[in-house]
Chains A and B, each alone.
Chain A
């Protein structure tokens, strides 16, 4: 096998992924004069960053007094104290700088009458260490992510970044010392497999929300960076933590905004009962996201779900005046008709808790350097955005911190590449012999498999298993069964068969390769979740309930630590949470309540 060779292209830096974090890192590198390649499965402005509509947070204080330290407090609290406080301080301190920079790149932020960036309130954003709400979110109408991508892309065009569009990265290249030397990638238009040999490799591949059956994530989010990292022996951090939204359209996953319940929408079970009255007698359907999601899952698990499989509940607005629906909830009627086949004026909408955001990922420090188990940087390897775990989101992400994460750590990872090149810590090392063997063997296996498993059926089984066994509300026995099931599915993934063997635009092959990545994320998630015997942030277990000794089920004595999942041996290790910020005092553990 090692005699097989593939074409090699040489760069100073290769970035995988052209969403917000990849584009931000690329600006840093290209403007420093480095020969930079950006690989993307799609045209850059079609990245999933577009779907981030809410805004980006920064303590600019344009509308009222604000401070990065207050933003830091909110982020630590949001993370349920699992976030690393050095990275959180860094991100919150850098926020005003990266937002103003983005403005200079041409981002069309909404403005105040005086021409400053307009800031609006957002859930969890507080002044004076949790005292009262503050306006911290900066937005460009409801298209913040879209506008951000355009501003960043134009800046890259100006800086001569080289884009490789409709290319899929397949594997990392590492040598015996563990240094990362680039990636092997597939060009969809030709089917050609090429080595991108680089001094630095930056992963900005986004999340893997497609491991769940019900997901708000676009189809592109298949965790390619996580799969590649895991196969190359990099552990994945805190993969049990996924943020869910209570009301995605059952089956499709398309989000139904919280505003529907705000306008009087009611959740009902199969007996037409307004079940939230039992779980939250005061707030009812307007209780917090996690309370509503858990109630919905309990109803479904106890047999009170709707439909032939009793696997969803109903969101009812039929009692509202149609004129109110049309005026106050524009778009909801069209979404319901197109994605649920239901006119919500006449019938309730089927909904389920739906996966939204991945908190865990490839472990990095606040400089965007990927780190090994002991915190030492992996030479030549960097990551930013949803694929990375810095860890600023810990067990639960604060709203608008996702766009901030990709600006701050996109930039810091680029700066780290430049610093590491200057210091001589990294350079263009020779490719080791046989570096492409494993990738080529994987492709060969896929091309020659007979009597194997069907890709879309196997993916569906993976997604249904994750949803049922490792969803928004988790149960001991279900998790244990889930581990066994996902390991069975792994065997099917290893035997996928495609009928189309052609080279040019073979999308069946690409989908099979995406499934190779999804299975790594699914294993990491299920195994990490089964092992963590507490409730914290987005990881909520039935057998870790709220008690006086462990409020909200959180067990700091045994579980205040980061999970590391290792693909080799499917094993776990743990590392401490960094409680020491860079310049201020530590924010001490306390119960998270709003």
Chain B
């Protein structure tokens, strides 16, 4: 799969989710933060985006902690996203 195709697939999976909160946050993250991630962080984000909304949301709002250190870095970046 080409990079463009991979990115479009990721975009679809970030912006067609069960909850509006996740559409907004992940879409914004993809545009603003994702391009500057390290390859390991980018892989971690893809894995996080594969989680279901009710698994991912508690990580972002801090009610659950990430065990994987690289995922934790990405979650910290997700927490800093401001949707305006």
Contact = CB atoms under 8 A, between A and B. Distances in A.
A334 B62 contact: yes
B8 A46 contact: no
Interface of A is mostly: loop
Nearest to A510: B12
Contact of B54 (A146, A216, A334, A502): A146
Interface residues of B, number: 34
Nearest to B15: A219
A42 B63 CA distance: 27
Given A334-B62, A341-B82, A507-B12, A219 B53 contact: no
A251 interface: yes
Interface in A209-260: 215-220, 251-254
Contacts of A254: 20-21, 24
Contacts of B81: 338
Contacts of B8: 505-507
A48 B52 CA distance: 12
B20 A505 contact: no
Contacts of A334: 60-62
B17 A42 contact: yes
Given A50-B19, A143-B54, A331 B61 contact: yes
B32 interface: no
Nearest to A216: B20
B82 A218 contact: no
A335 B16 contact: no
Nearest to B6: A505
A204 to B, nearest CB: 15
Interface in A106-147: 143, 146
A505 B83 contact: no
Contacts of B4: 502, 505
Contact of B21 (A220, A337, A339, A506): A339
Contacts of B63: 330
Nearest to A45: B52
B20 A42 contact: no
Contact of A252 (B16, B18, B83): B83
Interface string B11-34: 111011111111111010000000
Contacts of A143: 54
14 contacts: A45-B18, A50-B19, A50-B54, A146-B53, A215-B20, A218-B16, A253-B20, A254-B20, A334-B62, A335-B21, A338-B25, A339-B83, A341-B82, A505-B6
The 6 A-B pairs with the shortest beta carbon distances in the complex, nearest first, are A50-B18, A505-B8, A505-B5, A219-B23, A334-B61, A507-B8
